[in-house]
Structure formats: C-alpha cells, structure tokens
Amino acid sequence: MASSSSSSSFLVSPSPPTGNNRRIELAG
C-alpha cells in the first residue's frame, strides 16, 4: 500500500522527488 501512496505523491509533485522520478523512468 505504501508504494501506491508514494506513486501518487510523486505524481502530484514530481519536483522534490527527482530521484523517484528517475527511478520510475528507468523501470518503465
């Protein structure tokens, strides 16, 4: 469940979580 919440958070503000954004792009 925590993963789902994180996804929404990064989507709402992909500015602060730059690392997360990059990770998602790599996975995709």
**Per-residue model confidence (pLDDT) at position 1:** 46
| CB environment 1-28: b (16+ within 10 A), e (fewer) | eeeeeeeeebeeeeeebeeeeeeeeeee
Q: Per-residue pLDDT tens for 3-27?
A: 555 555 555 555 555 566 666 665 5
Based on C-alpha coordinates, what's the Rg of the chain?
9
Q: Write down the domain spans for the chain.
A: 1-28
- For the entire predicted model, the pTM comes to 0.15
Q: Tell me the DSSP string of 1-28.
A: -HHHHHHHHHHH--SS-HHHHHHHHHH-
